[in-house]
Amino acid sequence: MKGECHGHIILDGYNSRHSLSMHKGQPNSNIIMERLKIYKDMGITFFRDGGDNLGVSLLAAKMAPAYGIDYRTPAYAICKFGSYGGFLSRSFSNISEYRNLVLQVLELGGDFIKIMASGILDFSQYGVVTHKAITEQELNDMINFAHSLGLAVMTHVNGAENVKAAITAGTDSVEHGFYINDECLSLMAKKKTIWVPTVTPIVNLIGKGLYPDSVLKRIAVEQLENVKKALEIGCIIAVGSDAGAHNVFHGKGITQEIRYLTPCFKSKNQMYEVLSEGERIISQRFKSPKLH
Ligand SMILES: [Zn+2]
């Protein structure tokens, strides 16, 4: 595989507030060029961004072909007012506002829709997901609307119940999917939902002293066990490191994600086959409706 299926070109891996401040007023093309060059030099030819509300990923998508990169962006992520992810999103408080945001993604030239359906992990306590999640009924309406316009949906979601809701509602991909369970895995296999398990942000936090290592290790081990189970039942898995997130650096992130996922596979060959197929399916589904 030659791609990063979940990255954030706007973020620097150190500090999200500082990263965003570098693009105040207008997207900083020098920063974008530096990061695209890292990927070009590594031979990365595909990048799926998680979106931002400063137009950075949209500009990156325009610049990327000069670096030989097929770049996909949702423009911005979409989150419910007051939920997690506001710093990279535009928010809605009712379905008609959501629909307007989706229509704007099309106007801006976004390739797909990114939904923030739940919070993130509370790294200090095992089993806890922050923020209120979007309900299955709401997700159903949201995803159906995106699909009716030919847009695929990438859903940020954690927690078994929330992941199940997203899969049942028809999301094209589950991003992160921590605390997933067997029921979610078989649903994913049945519905051919793509899973991007992003283990790198968690593994890279181990030993940093910011959160209890016992909690981080338990979450990482469990996620990798679930990836293994997912592979056994034929789920579609793709490599996304969440590049740009805290402690996940552009370029290096992909190499780390592949390294961390390696023990889940029977052989390197099987790994390259499965992950290349995951990326191929993503690149096919997550493209602008204009190109379908
Ligand atoms: Zn992300």
Q: What is the pLDDT of residues 99-139, one digit of tens each?
A: 999 999 999 999 999 999 998 998 999 988 889 889 999 99
The CA 50 to ligand 1 mean position distance, Å, reads 6
Q: Is 131 left (phi over 0), alpha (psi -120 to 50) or beta?
A: left
Task: Give dist(CA 280, CA 2) in Å, integer.
Answer: 10
The CA 6 to ligand 1 mean position distance, Å, reads 6
What kind and span of H or E run contains 201?
helix 200-203
| Interval 279-289: pLDDT, tens | 999 999 999 98
The CA 156 to ligand 1 mean position distance, Å, reads 7
Task: Give dist(CA 134, CA 139) in Å, integer.
Answer: 7
The CA 255 to ligand 1 mean position distance, Å, reads 17
The CA 183 to ligand 1 mean position distance, Å, reads 24
- Amino acid identity for residue 128 in this structure: V
Closest CA to 170 of 265, 254, 151: 151
- Amino acid identity for residue 96 in this structure: S
| Percent of all residues in the chain with a pLDDT value above 90, rounded to a whole number | 89
| Interval 55-93: pLDDT, tens | 999 999 999 999 999 999 999 999 999 888 778 999 999
Task: Give dist(CA 27, CA 59) in Å, integer.
Answer: 7
Let me know if 87 is exposed, middle or buried by CB neighbors in 10 A (0-12, 13-18, 19+).
Answer: middle
Per the CB < 8 A criterion, the answer to whether 175 and 155 are in contact is: yes
Would you give the distance in Å from CA 266 to the centre of its chain? 25
The CA 17 to ligand 1 mean position distance, Å, reads 15
Per the CB < 8 A criterion, the answer to whether 139 and 33 are in contact is: no
pTM for the whole structure: 0.96
Let me know if 65 is exposed, middle or buried by CB neighbors in 10 A (0-12, 13-18, 19+).
Answer: exposed
Structural domains of the chain, with CATH: 3-291 (3.20.20.140)
117 SS3 class: coil
Angle between helices 160-168 and 182-191 (to 10 degrees): 20
The CA 245 to ligand 1 mean position distance, Å, reads 7
